[in-house]
Structure 1
Amino acid sequence: MAGIRIPPEDSEPSSQQSRGAVGDLVSDDERSVAADSWSIKSDYGSTLDDDQRQTDAADALSAANFRAPSDYSSDKEEADAEEAVQSMLGLQSYWDTAYADELTNFREHGHAGEVWFGAEVMEVVASWTKSLCIDISQGRLPNHVDDIKSEPVEQGDKYLSTWSVLDIGTGNGLLLQELAKLGFSDLTGTDYSEGAVQLARSLSDRDGFPNISFLVDDVLETKLERQFQLVMDKGTLDAIGLHPDGPVKRMMYWDSVSRLVASGGILVITSCNSTKDELVQEVESFNQRRIGVSQEPEMPKDQEAGRDPPFRFLNHVRSYPTFMFGGSVGSRVATVAFLRS
């Protein structure tokens, strides 16, 4: 899953580009079905409980004065057509259609599909994350990971093999393959699109990575009971934010992800819709909301540890090209790591 795609330069025309306008892919009925599929469902309550979760999140959203992703955009004169395309990227029906075509393309031609944000960004994310994990394994919290050269894979294996890794919204699973090449071995990828999972499994088997696990799972209503030391997100939060109910669903995202990252583990988010500072602010808003909830009188004593901020900023990639816009320095992609308390 991804927000806005940044394909690698000089790449071949993608199968998705050849499918025509997005409006040709998804009908009004499919949009309705997709919107229904995004409704948050609980394993522990009735439909009323599900509605209450939506209401609670909306109330918290209002109280926190949380900004929608569109508010982060400095281009307020974006064309209506482009806004419609962006909102489509937040619907499951869009991704189901996209990955059905990608899977067909793979079976007929052996194509792996697109690399979200481009192969160069994926390689930077993987190598930077490797350095970060090795540093933490050695008992150091780095300040300038980009300035640290990773140990050779043969030496790094003794650290990386102990890290359990989850890639949420894994798509074709190529990021996990890249991490496997660097020495990570306990790797799991999830995506709410069954076609994406089928494609990821097929590519993993073909490319010699049969030990990577892939599961159909929606991060907003995850069925995973396991926690992971490293959770990767490359574009999933972007796509969630492009849903018509994006602000509420982004809050639900943080509630869910906070349960997936093990204590002392890290969350690495790569985004092209939010800057590093915006992601840090979003995490701070989530921390404040969680601390406020944990201080309620009825909070069980065994949950008092939750009064500490769930996440704190750890580091970010500094090597991406930057540009100046509106008096601020930014980058087309941001990769930010947060440490779980």
Structure 2
Amino acid sequence: MADDREGSRGCENRTDSEEDKCSDNDFETSKLGTKEYWEEAYQKELETFKDIGDVGEIWFGEESMSRVLRWMDKAKIPEDAAVLDIGTGNGAFLVELAKHGYRNLTGIDYSPASVELARNVLQAEGLTDVTVKETDFLSCRGELTDFDVCIDKGTFDAISLNPDNNKECKKLYVHTLKDAIKDNGIFVITSCNWTKEQLLDRFCEGFQFVQELPTPSFQFGGKTGNSVAALIFKRVH
């Protein structure tokens, strides 16, 4: 059964205190940032899906997908818009996008087991026109282009946790993203590791902030904060 809790993988609640406005090195790297971890995780989910048809965990929960879809409706994103799901995992978001009427969908993941799982899930839903590719986003600069919308739901978080040269990986992520999105195209990111302010700083060059999507808030010690940040950017030159 899918875990529908917000920020269910490696995410901890944070307040908007000064301590949260931290540098890139203020949280430790983790196995959650390694390809080996995700290949093992998705291999288990693939086996479970083949056994009992369970698609596995939904990163950030179903509400995280609904939140983005509601914004896309409000923004009147055309149904023929080219949409890229970065780090598609089990393909659950691609399924929801397709059911919502979007018909030019691509999902990528660097885990072979993830790609096989996503393809199996899509096939089970009768969604045969969705493209899923085994692609490492950090190693494909120039290969992904002309997307109207790019969506990241936890992939930048995982990259940020990579114990191997994650500073350079985060820079490479931004450069690859710039290449992938058309002028005036949209980038949607959901993160549990980074605050709104940190994401604004990370994507300040080549992107224009559009909107913050509302996410569940909490209070602790007189401070109000969010466990998840969800931001919309527009690609600009």
- What TM-score, normalized to structure 2? 0.85
Cα offset for 1:94?
0.6
Whole-angstrom CA distance in 1 between matches of 2:49 and 2:81: 31
Q: SS at the partner of 2:127?
A: coil
In the alignment, structure 1 residue 168 sits paired with structure 2 residue 164: no
Number of the residue aligned with 1:125: 68
- Which residue of structure 1 aligns with residue 128 of structure 2? 210
C-alpha separation in 2, matches of 1:326 and 1:126: 33
Residue 257 in 1 paired to residue 192 in 2?
Answer: no
Deviation at residue 99 of structure 1 after TM alignment: 0.8
Q: Which residue of 2 aligns with 1:219?
A: 137
1:90 to 33, 42, 45: 33
Q: Identity of paired residues, percent?
A: 39
Give the AA of the match of 1:312. Q
Kindly state the Cα deviation for residue 123 of structure 1 after the two structures are TM-superposed. 1.7
Deviation track 1:200-259 (CA, whole Å, cap 9, x = no partner) reads 000001012111110010110116243200000000000000011222211110011110
Question: Please, which runs of 5 or more residues in structure 1 have no aligned partner?
Answer: 1-5, 17-65, 74-82, 135-158, 288-309
Aligned mates of 2:200, 2:222 — CA distance in 1: 20
Match of 1:47 in 2: none
After the TM superposition, list the runs of 4 or more consecutive aligned residues in structure 1 that deviate by more than 4 angstroms.
325-328
Query: Partner letter of residue 4 of structure 2?
Result: P
After the TM superposition, which residues 283-294 of structure 1 pair with which residues of structure 2 at under 5 Å, given as runs?
283-284=203-204, 287=205
Structure 1 contact 317–336 (Cα < 8 Å) conserved? yes
Query: Counterpart in 1 of 2:48?
Result: 105
8 Å CA contact 1:312–1:340 kept in 2: the answer is yes
**Number of residues paired by the alignment?**
219
Cα drift, residue 162 of structure 1: 2.8
Q: In structure 2, what is the equivalent of residue 48 of structure 1? A: none
Match of 2:153 in 1: 234
Partner Cα separation in structure 1 for residue 178 and residue 146 of structure 2: 9
Tell me, yes or no, if the aligned pair for 1:177 and 1:209 is still in contact at 8 Å: yes
Structure 2 portions without partners, runs of 5+: 10-21
Q: Which residue of 2 is the match for residue 292 of structure 1?
A: none
1:286-322 CA distances to partner (integer Å, 9 max, x unpaired)? x1xxxxxxxxxxxxxxxxxxxxxx111011102x221
Give, in whole Å, the separation in 1 of the partners of 2:207 and 2:218.
28
2:23 is aligned, of 47, 52, 67, to 67
What SS does the corresponding residue of 2:30 show, helix, strand or coil?
A: helix
- The residue identity in structure 2 corresponding to 1:190 is I
Letter in 2 for 1:280: L
More strand by share: 2
* Normalised TM-score (structure 1): 0.60
Which amino acid in the other structure matches residue 67 of structure 1? S
Contact kept, 8 Å, 1:67 with 1:247, in 2: the verdict is no
Q: Which amino acid aligns with 1:240?
A: I
Which structure has more RCO (C-alpha within 8 Å, separation ≥ 6)? 2
Asked which structure has the greater CA Rg, the reply is 1
User: Which structure shows the bigger proportion of residues in helix conformation?
Assistant: 1
Partner of 1:270: 190
* Match runs of 1:7-18 below 5 Å: 7-8=3-4
- Partner residue in 2 for 1:336: 231
